[in-house]
């Protein structure tokens, strides 16, 4: 039996590589004779560099940049010939700030601009930029404020890895949809929306590109719109791009089962997250979803989407603080994978 293990990270406690390894241990415990292939994935957010660097044979370079609140932080960029891999969450990610310090009114994307300069200085002429998990809603203004960034963006080609369809402003825009998830109050959202409206006008005046209603311009707090306006960036599905670059289709050939997952599965899973990307590309191979947690109200929709099994690794009643301990999460994943395989044999 051939089993392909292709999960996203459990962002608060385990990398995609660690998740895949834990699942693999559980599978082998239930079926020692199985051929098990581990293929960690990402959708363009946290973990994208870890997944794509080996696939593209990229070397890693560490650069010091500003985090969302202006403190210096080490970020890594991937260098594969003239292609640079940038994971924006390394400079402006939610994971860089404890919940009490998250404030999209102050958070800036300056660090992303510094990553872009570093990539071009290293010889990159094509940038793969993963958007996701940002703590910001500055419309990319911080990124563009870094001296020289606008000029670099005119010289390089840019692909942004993003599965978000949200426009720059409006009811479905960056401020109204995403800012509350980053710590913004209702009053903060209105301030941010006005800022983004002003930025949209500025971007149009400087580049001739109107990002207001552009699909995907609201990604990463509007950073998607800034990249589209100043570089003519092409937006591609993050998960589909990753699946293509890591060779998912070839690995799935002849598989009897694909095991995927993420930290928490809910209705948003069906909107371009790793598990549904895997499901779309499975080519008829059964796909089981094993996530850290599964929202009860979404279980039926997830099964209806086509997953042959939908299961949560975390036992019912376990406190979240305990479930997020890496050692506990690994153990839960191993046991849940073992039970899933044994049950389906």
35-73 per-residue burial string, b: 16 or more CB within 10 A, e: under 16: ebbbbbbbbbbbbbbbbbbebbebeeeebebbbbbeeeb
Structural domains of the chain sorted by starting position, each given as residue range(s) with its CATH number in brackets:
2-40+256-344 (3.40.50.10350), 48-238 (3.90.1510.10)
pLDDT given at position 45? 84
Nearest to 260 by CA among 189, 169, 317, 337: 337
pLDDT at 162 over 80: yes
- Per-residue model confidence (pLDDT) at position 16: 94
Per-residue pLDDT, 46: 86
List Cα–Cα distances, 122 to 62, 103, 112, 117, 157, in angstroms. Answer: 12, 33, 15, 9, 15
pLDDT of 344 above 70:
no
Q: pLDDT band at 342, cuts 50/70/90? A: confident
| pLDDT tier for residue 191 given thresholds of 50, 70 and 90 | very high
Least trusted range by pLDDT, from 21-30, 153-162, 257-266, 315-324: 315-324
More confident: 47 or 226? 226
pLDDT, residue 271, reads: 80
- Does residue 74 carry a pLDDT above 80? yes
- Give the mean pLDDT of 191-197: 98
Number of Cβ within 10 Å of residue 148's Cβ equals: 12
What digits encode the pLDDT tens for the residues 81-125? Answer: 999 999 999 999 998 999 999 999 999 999 999 999 999 999 999
Considering the chain, what percentage of its residues have pLDDT values greater than 70?
A: 99
Decide: 65 and 33 in contact? Cβ < 8 Å: no
* Averaged pLDDT of the chain: 94
> What pLDDT is recorded for position 101?
94
User: Is the pLDDT assigned to residue 171 strictly greater than 90?
Assistant: yes
pLDDT higher than threshold 90 for residue 179: yes
Please give the Cα distance from 339 to 28 (Å, whole number).
11
- pLDDT attached to residue 12: 81
Q: How high is the pLDDT of residue 270?
A: 86
pLDDT in tens, 255-311: 999 999 999 999 888 887 899 999 999 999 999 999 999 999 999 999 999 999 999
């Amino acid at each position: 039996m051939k089993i392909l293990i292709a999960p996203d990270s459990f962002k608060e406690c385990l990398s995609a590589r660690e998740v895949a390894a834990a699942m693999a241990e559980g599978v082998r415990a239930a079926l020692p004779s199985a051929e098990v292939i581990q293929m960690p994935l990402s959708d363009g957010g946290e973990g994208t560099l870890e997944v794509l660097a080996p696939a593209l044979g990229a070397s890693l370079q560490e650069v010091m940049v500003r985090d969302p609140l202006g403190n210096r932080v080490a970020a890594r960029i991937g260098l594969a010939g003239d292609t640079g891999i940038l994971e924006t969450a390394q400079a402006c990610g939610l994971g860089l700030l404890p919940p009490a310090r998250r404030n999209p009114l102050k958070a800036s994307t300056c660090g992303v601009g510094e990553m872009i300069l570093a990539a071009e200085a290293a010889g990159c002429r094509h940038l793969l930029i993963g958007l996701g998990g940002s703590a910001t809603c500055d419309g990319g203004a911080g990124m563009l404020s870094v001296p020289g960034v606008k000029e670099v963006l005119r010289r390089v080609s840019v692909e942004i890895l993003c599965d978000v369809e949200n426009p720059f402003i409006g009811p479905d825009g960056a401020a109204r949809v995403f800012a509350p998830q980053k710590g913004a109050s209702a009053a903060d959202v209105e301030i941010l929306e006005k800022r983004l409206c002003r930025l949209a006008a500025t971007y149009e005046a400087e580049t001739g590109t109107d990002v207001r209603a552009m699909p995907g311009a609201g990604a990463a707090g509007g950073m998607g719109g800034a990249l589209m306006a100043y570089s003519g960036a092409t937006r591609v599905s993050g998960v589909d791009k990753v699946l293509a670059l890591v060779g998912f289709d070839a690995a799935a050939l002849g598989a009897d089962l694909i095991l995927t997952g993420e930290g928490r599965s809910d209705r948003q899973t069906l909107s371009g997250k790793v598990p549904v990307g895997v499901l779309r590309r499975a080519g008829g191979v059964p796909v089981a979803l094993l996530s850290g947690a599964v929202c009860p109200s979404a279980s039926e929709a997830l099964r209806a989407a086509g997953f042959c099994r939908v299961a949560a690794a975390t036992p019912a009643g376990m406190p979240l603080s305990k479930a997020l301990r890496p050692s506990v999460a690994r153990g839960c994943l191993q046991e849940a994978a073992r039970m899933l395989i044994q049950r389906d044999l």
